[in-house]
Each structure stands twice: as C-alpha cells, then as structure tokens.
Amino acid sequence: MNDILSSVDERTQLAGNNRMELLTFNLAGSQKYGINVFKVREVMLCPLISEISDSYVKGIVHLRGTTFSVIDLNKVVHETPLPMDSTYLIVAEFNQTLQGFIVRGVDRILNLAWDEIHPPPDNISTENFVTATTYQNSELIQVLDVEKVLDKIAPNENKMDTKLIDTGRKYTDKREYEVVICDDSSVARRNLQEAIEKVGCLPVIFENGLEAYLHLKERKNDRERMDSLLMLISDIEMPEMDGFTLLSKIRKEAEFIKTPMYMHSSLSGDVNEIKAKEMGATGFLNKFDANQIAKVLNEAMENKEKERKNTNKAVQLQDRPI
C-alpha cells in the first residue's frame, strides 16, 4: 500500500489538473469512506498503541522517531469504538503535524476528477462528518471532513490579537470590503467567517471552487462590486473544482490580475507553497491561524486605500486648469 503513496510530486500535479486520488476504507460497517491521498503519509496494520482514557483519542504511537496521537474514527463518526484486532492505521499530515486514524480495513486508491466528487446530498445531516460523496461502480463513497473530526476532538479557539482587529476596523469603518472564501469543510468556512468578520469585512461564502468561479465571473463587469472585492481565500481540495484550477482560471481574467488570492489549506509543505506561487497566488495560508488571516486582510485594505489616494490625486491633477 505504501508504494502507491510514494510520490508527493505526482499527487500535487493531480490537484493542478483538477484531479485527486482518494484512499477508500471501511469503519465498523460496509459503508465506504475516503480521504485524499495527498494528506496520507503511510498506511499499515495498526502497531502497538499506548492507550489513554480519552473517548476519541485511542492513545499515542511511536513511529520512526515520531510520537503522535491516534484517533478511533469509528468512535468519532458513530460513537462506538472499533475492536482493535486486525485494524489499520492511516498516518496523515495536517499543517506539518502527524495524526493517526484507526480504521477497520483499507480498500484501494481511486484516481478521480474533482467533477466526479459532489457535495453531500440534503438527506445527509449537517452533523455528519461527510464533506463530499462520489459513486464508483454504483457504490456510494463518503469523503470524510477530517477537519471536522479534528475540531470535534480539539476545537479551534479562533483567538485574534486585538491590535489586528483595531487596525482592520479603521479601514472597515470607512467602507465595506468583501472577501470571497471557498472551502468544502464546514469547520474551515466557520473559522474563516469568524476571522473575517472580526476585522469588519464581509465574507462571501462558497462550498467549492466552481461556485466561487461562477460568482466572480458574474461580478467582474460590475464596477462597484469589483471595488468592494478585497481578496479570494480558497481551499485546495474541493468538489467540482479544486483550488488550483480556480486560481488558474481566475488569473486568466484581466479583471482579477491584481486581486489578492490566497490558498488556504491543511496540505502543508513547500511543494504546495511553490506551486501556489507559480500559478499566481499571492500567498499560502496554513489552516488555521486567525492572526495570519487578519494580517493579510489588513495589508490588502491598506493597499486598497493607497490605490484610492493615488487615483484621486491623479484625477485632481488632470482637472487642474493649465
């Protein structure tokens, strides 16, 4: 199984071409679940775990010189623990931190286009941990919102420096700034919304890149709405259209050449940051740092104000009598 996970570079190229690889697995029942292979570092039979009393964290494991916690996914999703006989361990990385997930069995890796992956249907509860679904040979596969899993165990406090809030309010007290955000994770959307609203900006929220792309295309000929657009913050992994594809399409539109665009992802590593910059991103933001979000918002608002002043000066000079 780990031979298939060997090439990080190849998986990065998949994202740039609106494709992804999905590792499928089972929990206690027959339902198939999935996780993006790009997050996965290793898959193995579950090693010896130093068990602790936490209801969701099964314990900790020492592997190749690194110690990290291990989560019982079935306990989180279905509130019943998995029996530990013949279970597998999926080792994944989020924001440069390793995390282990215990599952019943690992199935296979699927190479899919993002337009084959769709938002969950309405009959799946919002309390569920499913962020997307796909069908393979008429079988439903539910893609887990891992950020929501981690948030259930250790909720993000979303603290922000009051100085950053005060700086942002100096700008937003004068005029309204809109920030377009797109992310298929409900937790990520909530965290971004809270951070953006704290500095006084208005979040315009979408669940995938395609929705955000259509919105931006629709507003580009509206001068007033373009003037209020501060930036785009996009996840990389999303149904319908991934973040790199969205970035590539938007940068081809003359109206958005100068619009700040940040990739916001738990897919840590230099490979993603380099790729984001090469494709025209203003920067790369790791999930989730409220102060980092506030800093880029404040910087963008400061730049907008400078542009307005320069434009006004140029107009005044033109109108001055000779």
Angle value at C-alpha 133, between 56 and 31, nearest 5 degrees? 55
Residue 26 has pLDDT above 90, yes or no: yes
pLDDT for res 321:
60
Q: Under DSSP, is residue 276 helix (H, G, I), strand (E, B) or coil? A: helix
Give the model confidence (pLDDT) of 222-232 as tens digits: 888 899 999 99
Mean pLDDT of 272-296: 89
For residue 12, the model assigns a pLDDT of 46
Q: Is 0.95 surpassed by the pTM of this model?
A: no
pLDDT at 36: 86
Average pLDDT, the chain: 86
**Residue 292 pLDDT:** 94
pLDDT tens track for 164-181:
999 999 999 988 999 999
Look at residue 190 and tell me whether its pLDDT is greater than 70.
yes
**Do residues 68 and 98 touch, judged by C-beta distance below 8 A?**
yes
Q: DSSP 3-state assignment of 270?
A: helix
What pLDDT is stored for residue 8 in this prediction?
Answer: 41
Question: Tokens at residue 103, please?
Answer: 């599952």
Distance CA 264, CA 41 (A): 20
Can you tell me the mean pLDDT for 293-316?
84
State how beta strands 178-182 and 202-206 pair: parallel
What pLDDT sits at residue 7? 43
- Count CB atoms within 10 A of the CB of residue 173: 8
- The answer to whether 173 and 204 are in contact (CB under 8 A) is no
Tokens for 243, please give them.
């973040």
Structure-block tokens of residue 147: 């950020």
Q: What is the mean pLDDT of residues 95-116?
A: 88
Domains of the chain as residue ranges with CATH = 8-152 (2.40.50.180), 162-315 (3.40.50.2300)
Q: Kindly tell me the burial class for residue 316, based on how many C-beta atoms sit within 10 Å of its own C-beta (0-12, 13-18, 19 or more).
A: exposed
Whether the predicted pLDDT of 5 surpasses 60: no
In this structure, the number of other CB atoms found within 10 A of the CB of residue 243 comes to: 33
Whether 36 and 20 have beta carbons less than 8 Å apart is answered as yes
Q: How confident is the model at residue 319 (pLDDT cuts 50, 70, 90)?
A: low
State how far the Cα of 73 lies from the Cα of 76, in Å rounded to an integer. 5
Calculate the alpha carbon distances from 188 to 84, 184, 185, 212 in Å: 31, 8, 5, 15
> Distance (Å, rounded) from C-alpha 172 to C-alpha 144?
36
Residue 200, CA atoms < 13 Å, CB-side half-sphere: 17
Rank 60-64, 99-103, 124-128, 145-149 by mean pLDDT and report only the highest.
99-103
> Taking 80 as the threshold, does the pLDDT of residue 126 lie above it?
no
pLDDT of 214: 95
